[in-house]
């Protein structure tokens, strides 16, 4: 829209002159061409504003839908992460329990110095030279046979 279209038309110059006693006035109605052009201009401006508001409404609707979709996506991810964290906590607790069990078992195991003491006693006694009851019975029987063979 140009500047000329926006401005109302300039007032008309009055031609002629007045004579005393005679008033020569022309009866004119309101200038309808100026009002019509202003109404058309206002109508166009109103349509542009309505179109702008429609575009804004569509933009906000799309934005709202995107926010809702992202919210659902993030909620699902948060649930997944939360369940993973819960599972990891359970696994960590199980590991702690197993470590405590291992520690209790290790406390009941003989220590290195205790094993060394046992090793010294075993070396001192030398159980390899010990005989079993069957071997003793066999030796006693042999000795008795030898005595009985001598007497005969």
Alpha carbon distances (Å) from 49 to 44, 56, 57, 63, 137: 9, 10, 12, 21, 123
Domain residue extents for the chain: 36-109, 112-152
- Determine the pLDDT at residue 17: 47
pLDDT at position 129 is: 76
Is residue 34 within 8 A of residue 59, CB to CB? The reply is no
Q: What is the pLDDT of residue 133?
A: 86
Quick one: DSSP state of residue 113?
H
- How confident is the model at residue 9, as a pLDDT? 58
Helix locations, the chain, DSSP H? 3-6, 32-108, 112-125, 133-151
pLDDT averaged over consecutive 10-residue blocks of the chain (152 residues)?
53 50 52 85 95 97 97 97 98 98 92 91 81 87 89 72
pLDDT on residue 151: 77
pLDDT at 125: 85
- pLDDT (0 to 100) of residue 6: 56
Q: What is the pLDDT of residue 28?
A: 57
CA dist 92 and 78 (Å) reads: 21
pLDDT value for 11: 55
Q: What's the Cα-to-Cα distance from 118 to each of 29, 124, 125, 127, rounded to whole Å?
A: 133, 10, 11, 13
Per-residue pLDDT at 85 = 98
């Amino acid at each position: 829209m140009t500047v000329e279209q926006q401005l109302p038309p300039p007032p008309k110059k009055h031609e002629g002159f007045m004579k005393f006693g005679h008033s020569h006035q022309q009866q004119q109605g309101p200038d309808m061409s100026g009002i019509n052009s202003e109404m058309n201009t206002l109508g166009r401006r109103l349509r542009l504003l309505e179109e702008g508001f429609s575009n804004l409404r569509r933009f906000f609707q799309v934005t709202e839908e995107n926010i809702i979709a992202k919210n659902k996506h993030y909620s699902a991810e948060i649930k997944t992460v939360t369940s993973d964290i819960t599972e990891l906590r359970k696994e960590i607790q199980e590991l702690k329990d197993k470590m405590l069990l291992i520690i209790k078992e290790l406390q009941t195991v003989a220590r290195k110095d205790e094993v060394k003491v046992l090793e010294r006693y075993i070396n001192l006694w030398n159980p390899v030279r010990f005989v079993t009851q069957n071997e003793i019975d066999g030796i006693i029987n042999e000795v008795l046979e030898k005595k009985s063979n001598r007497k005969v």
